[in-house]
Amino acid sequence: MAEQSKKWILMVTAQTPTNIAVIKYWGKRDEKLVLPINESISVTFDPAHLCTTTTVAVSPSFQQDRMWLNKKEISLDGARYQNCLREIRARANDYEDEKKGIKISKNDWQNLHVHIDSYNNFPTAAGLASSASGFACLVFSLAKLMNVQEDNGRLSAIARQGSGSACRSLFGGFVKWVMGKEEDGSDSIAVPLVDEKHWDELVIIIAVVSSRQKETSSTSGMRETVVTSALIEHRAKVLSLYSLH
Ligand SMILES: Nc1ncnc2c1ncn2[C@@H]1O[C@H](COP(=O)(O)OP(=O)(O)OP(=O)(O)O)[C@@H](O)[C@H]1O
Ligand SMILES: C[C@@](O)(CCOP(=O)(O)OP(=O)(O)O)CC(=O)O
């Protein structure tokens, strides 16, 4: 790759819908790996409505990883973005486009930088699960760009490290996020229950009462609940008594 011209740019665009939980995830047993204290079930929206569109690009001329969210540059320094980038890069494969003269070998991905441009067609950080479609789309588009060969279940375990609810946006229809037992979180993944055709008449009406950013993020809200609520442990226990399927 080193001897190639620095002029090429490789780009992938993906679109991912958000999801709404019918049995909600609330509380983590591991903050770093984003592992939940209860299983959850959600419905994924029609991608024609609430969704994130993300374009990821790579070029030898890029000096650093950069990201724009809704046209404003944001920092990628946060652990959640770094975890997703690291996990996808670790699974990257060789890529070649002879016509364009692009040849990237597996190890090159560690030194190539990406530019990410993401847009939510609905209010961000306002309670409509922008982190779900946002991180699912980020992981999916990076995986396509870097020729990652893993299925959506495995990708969901990476999206989960961006935001828990994001793992469920890798599938359509009704989706379960399995708690998992492994310490490294590798089995805490999303599994499709029934596809989007299962309940054809289902219509979800979303009334946006405010587009303002929430004062309490889900992350800090659930952290506070785990520390202060006398009932949260009971909720998780009761949910664990039922096999959610
Ligand atoms: N398209 C995107 N790509 C990457 N990250 C995003 C994207 N959209 C949102 N995010 C991240 O998710 C954060 C918002 O998550 P947060 O959980 O606070 O709100 P929400 O997901 O919109 O609402 P809720 O979790 O209550 O449904 C943003 O501050 C940003 O860090
Ligand atoms: C109420 C919820 O929507 C909370 C979603 O929380 P997030 O997935 O946004 O939280 P983090 O994992 O900390 O990023 C319930 C749900 O989607 O199951």
Which atom of ligand 1 is found nearest the CA of 162?
5
Residues with CB under 6 A from ligand 2: 21, 24-25, 34, 40, 129, 131, 163-165, 218-219
For the segment 68-111, what is each residue's pLDDT rounded down to a tens digit? 999 999 999 999 999 999 999 999 999 999 988 999 999 999 99
55: its two tokens: 């374009």
Q: 36, 29 in Cβ contact below 8 A?
A: yes
For the segment 104-147, what is each residue's pLDDT rounded down to a tens digit? 999 999 999 999 999 999 999 888 899 999 999 999 999 999 99
Asked if residue 26 is part of any domain, the answer here is: yes
Asked if residue 3 is part of any domain, the answer here is: no
d(CA 176, CA 193): 6
For the segment 211-221, what is each residue's pLDDT rounded down to a tens digit? 888 889 999 99
Count up the domains in the chain and report the number: 1
- Residue 230 belongs to what domain range? 10-243
Asked if residue 5 is part of any domain, the answer here is: no
Asked if residue 223 is part of any domain, the answer here is: yes
Asked if residue 4 is part of any domain, the answer here is: no
126: its two tokens: 């306002």
Asked if residue 1 is part of any domain, the answer here is: no
C-beta of 16 in contact with ligand 1 (< 6 A):
no
Q: What letter represents residue 56's amino acid?
A: V
Asked if residue 137 is part of any domain, the answer here is: yes
Mean pLDDT of the chain: 94
Q: What is the pLDDT of residue 10?
A: 96
Mean pLDDT across 155-168: 98
Mean pLDDT across 201-213: 89
Q: Output the residue whose Cα is nearest ligand 2's atom 3.
A: 129
**pLDDT above 90 coverage of the chain, percent:** 86
What is the interface pTM, i.e. ipTM, of the complex?
Answer: 0.97
Q: 35, 83 in Cβ contact below 8 A?
A: no
Q: From the CA of 155, how far away is ligand 2's center (Å)?
A: 18
What predicted TM-score, i.e. pTM, was given to this entire model? 0.95
CATH number for the domain spanning 72: value is 3.30.230.10
d(CA 41, CA 88): 25
Query: Does residue 31 carry a pLDDT above 70?
Result: yes
Asked if residue 27 is part of any domain, the answer here is: yes
Q: From the CA of 164, how far away is ligand 2's center (Å)?
A: 6
